[in-house]
A and B are shown apart, each in its own frame.
Chain A
Amino acid sequence: MSATAAPVGAVRARPADALASWLRRNSWMLGLVVLLAALLVFTKFIQPRYGVTGVQGLAISVLPLALAAVAQAIVVMSGGIDLSIGSIMALVNVVGAVLMANQSEQFGVVAVLACLVLGLVLGAINGSLIVFTRVPDIVVTLAMSFVWAGCALLVIATPGGGSAKWLMELVSGSFGSEWVPKAAVALILVVAVVWLPVRRTRFGLSLYAIGSNRLAAFRSGVAVGRTRILAYMLMGFFAALAGLSVTASTGIGTPVPGPYTLMSVAAVVLGGVSLAGGRGGVFGPIVAVVILQIIRTDMTFLSIDSNLATVFQGVILIGVVMIGSLIQIRRGRA
């Protein structure tokens, strides 16, 4: 699933090699799925009772970070990076919670739509600042992370607000079979409905093109500035969804950003998105987020000292990425 690399790569593929080339292009993604499956088996092994409850809890806790990782992946694929995702999430989270507090269920729909528009606007501001001031992405978004975090505290200084019931029910419980958590369905649906069509548009192609080689894209007639701003707007949209999912899972707004920004970068790296831009997809990072969460859960099951657990997590992360890179380099030489 991980998105077709630069369009250049596709030209070489002959029909006979289709499967082999698909496998090669998606090898990272397949590796992740295998790793995830192995981790699930391992989890079941160390905790034989791990079952429906565990999977449901996993799906709900994965949701905010998975959406944040999708947001980050989109910007990174376009050749940028956004360090304000956590702050945007906090701002949307509190705005949503304040709007929905003590309001009717119907008004909740308006509030959610308003939050999504807010996300688009915040992303547009980030993107415009980067494009028009020519200050590097990392600097602009780092600065904006303080701005948005401050705004969140202005909206509400201490945790509070509320959430519409339907929003909370949207992510809790199961859908049909008890093995299919609603949170997972919501995540897959929203990504499939928004990202898959976008990827097939002219904008989607431009996104990969400017991430791959900005100059070449420009010379091929891609409106680089506009594409970058659109990429940041799409990031803002997914970050807003992530913020709303925090509202949905906790039922309140918390103005202090959670540890989402750097975790989203970690998930993007583990998910096979090139930090140099132009390569990767959004499903790899989602699987990566699930892997990261399961590792933490396993640490709890094994009763590993919390401080040691964070060290292990980091070592596992960097280890997986390093091994993956080494395999790719070796294949590149062969």
Chain B
Amino acid sequence: MKHLGKARGLIAIGAIAVLVAACSSSATTAPATPAPATAAPATAAPVTAAPVTAAPVTAAPATAAPSAAAMFTIGYSNGGGVGNGFREEQMCTAKAEALASGQVSGLTMTSRNTDAAGQLQDIRDLIAKGVNAIVFNPNDPKALNPALAEAAAAGIKTIAVDAYVTDPNTWNLYNNQIEYAYLGAKWLFEQMGGKGNVYYMRGLAGHPADTDRDKGFKKALAEYPGIKVLPNADGVATGWDPATATKLINDWIASGQYDNTQGIWTSGMDSMIVDAIKASGKKYVPIVGADLGAFVKQLLDPTNYPGLKGAAVTNTAAVGGAGVNMALKLLNGQTPTADPTASQPNTILLKPILAENVTDAGKATLTSWQTVPGLNPTWPLGIQIPDWTTFTPAQAVACKGPGE
């Protein structure tokens, strides 16, 4: 009898395992190692400032004249970060772009937390499905190359978004992180009058985006010799973790170092820094962050945050939509102009923009980012990219592809 009980227990465990495995969610695959793709919260932000004004509600969505242009099928592969706002926004903008273009008859999405081997399978499935182009957020720069070569042999266009791959036939499209850091740092050093101490709060050590941002920060630093970096030239790493960032700033305030600080540069862990300073009752120093909802809200709230000066730099998640847009450009025979400064050939780097709360123009931009109704609070605010997206913000929020 006892034996039977044990057997039942084991079967119950087996049943749970079956379900959990089938749902293959992140439990066992926590994104501990950042594939260059996953750009944590820091990588979150809008690029465009001209959202709703251009074509408000009238931009008839589904009826976008499909008859004129050729119709294509597109596959989209996401290999990680399921449930992460940045990744979700990527996929929803991809759907929105496919719908808005009127040239996509079917968009097939595969999205799960998996390793490079799993994403290889997803891409091969899309090849077997016979899509015209595959847009994907790569789990690794090199590991997917065998399947990408098979895609090229089958005449399928491939576009990597959010990170690059080394496959020579694939186009890469991602945010220019060097420029991201340079823009913010330059604004900050200007605000500080070109002299003083800046607390340098970086992202995740070793992550490609963090390495690139460090280059941009150092580039701006070289232009302002009066600026000194604290606690040392390499700054501190928040790991893009809100709790770590909060602890770092509280230690900084408690140790009295904050009183000797004239500016703070963050890699996207921004709103918690502002809140910590507020809680300490100290005066705000100029701060740079990303275009995340909470931070932008603080910047536009002089009642609760009097004297807060800051700038948000965009790090758009609309690269998913931009990838679909590029796929259609390639399928229609256009060749985009590659950016010669990128590490790989066939690469487009998306330029970030900066909006601050010091000038009226800046405030207007920040306000325009907030005007998308129904936007998920974990999504970066900028959901359009000039030249690379054609959907309306409402279409991105609706998250519906062709035929849905």
* A318 and B16 alpha carbons, distance in the complex (Å): 9
Nearest neighbor of B126 in chain A, beta-carbon distance: A300
Assess the B109–A306 pair: CB atoms within 8 A. Answer: yes
Closest 8 CB pairs of A and B: A314-B22, A57-B124, A262-B21, A258-B115, A61-B121, A250-B143, A276-B7, A265-B17
Given known pairs A57-B127, A314-B19, the reply for A157 and B33 (CB within 8 Å) is yes
Assess the A250–B28 pair: CB atoms within 8 A. Answer: no
* A60 and B125 alpha carbons, distance in the complex (Å): 12
Assess the A300–B140 pair: CB atoms within 8 A. Answer: no
Determine how close the nearest CB of chain B comes to the CB of A150; give it in whole angstroms: 10
CB 8 Å contact bits of B5-34 with A (1 = contact, 0 = none): 011001101110111111111011111111
Residue B362 interfacial (CB < 8 Å): no
CB 8 Å contact bits of A280-321 with B (1 = contact, 0 = none): 000000000000010011001101011100110110111001
Total A-B pairs in contact (CB under 8 Å)?
178
Given known pairs A138-B13, A275-B13, the reply for A252 and B116 (CB within 8 Å) is yes
The interface on chain B, measured as residues whose beta carbon lies within 8 A of the other chain's beta carbons, has a size of: 61
B118-166 residues with Cβ-Cβ distance < 8 A to A are: 118, 120-122, 124-130, 140, 142-147, 150, 154
Across the interface, which residues of A come within 8 angstroms of B124, CB to CB?
Answer: 53-54, 57, 60-61
Given known pairs A266-B22, A311-B23, the reply for A297 and B128 (CB within 8 Å) is yes
* A270 and B15 alpha carbons, distance in the complex (Å): 10
Across the interface, which residues of A come within 8 angstroms of B20, CB to CB?
Answer: 262
Across the interface, which residues of A come within 8 angstroms of B109, CB to CB?
Answer: 303, 305-306
* A91 and B110 alpha carbons, distance in the complex (Å): 27
Determine how close the nearest CB of chain B comes to the CB of A211; give it in whole angstroms: 11
Determine how close the nearest CB of chain A comes to the CB of B14; give it in whole angstroms: 4
Assess the B111–A300 pair: CB atoms within 8 A. Answer: no
Across the interface, which residues of B come within 8 angstroms of A176, CB to CB?
Answer: none
* A311 and B22 alpha carbons, distance in the complex (Å): 7
Residue B113 interfacial (CB < 8 Å): yes
* A268 and B13 alpha carbons, distance in the complex (Å): 13
Given known pairs A53-B128, A256-B115, A257-B29, the reply for A263 and B24 (CB within 8 Å) is yes
Residue B106 interfacial (CB < 8 Å): yes
Across the interface, which residues of B come within 8 angstroms of A54, CB to CB?
Answer: 124, 128
Residue B397 interfacial (CB < 8 Å): no
25 of the cross-chain contacts (CB-CB < 8 Å) are: A57-B121, A64-B117, A81-B10, A158-B33, A158-B34, A168-B146, A246-B115, A250-B120, A251-B142, A251-B146, A255-B33, A258-B115, A259-B115, A262-B20, A266-B18, A269-B15, A275-B13, A275-B14, A276-B6, A293-B121, A300-B122, A306-B78, A306-B82, A306-B109, A307-B82
Residue A328 interfacial (CB < 8 Å): no
Given known pairs A57-B125, A153-B32, the reply for A317 and B22 (CB within 8 Å) is yes
Given known pairs A254-B143, A259-B114, A311-B23, the reply for A276 and B33 (CB within 8 Å) is no
Assess the A261–B18 pair: CB atoms within 8 A. Answer: no
Assess the A257–B206 pair: CB atoms within 8 A. Answer: no
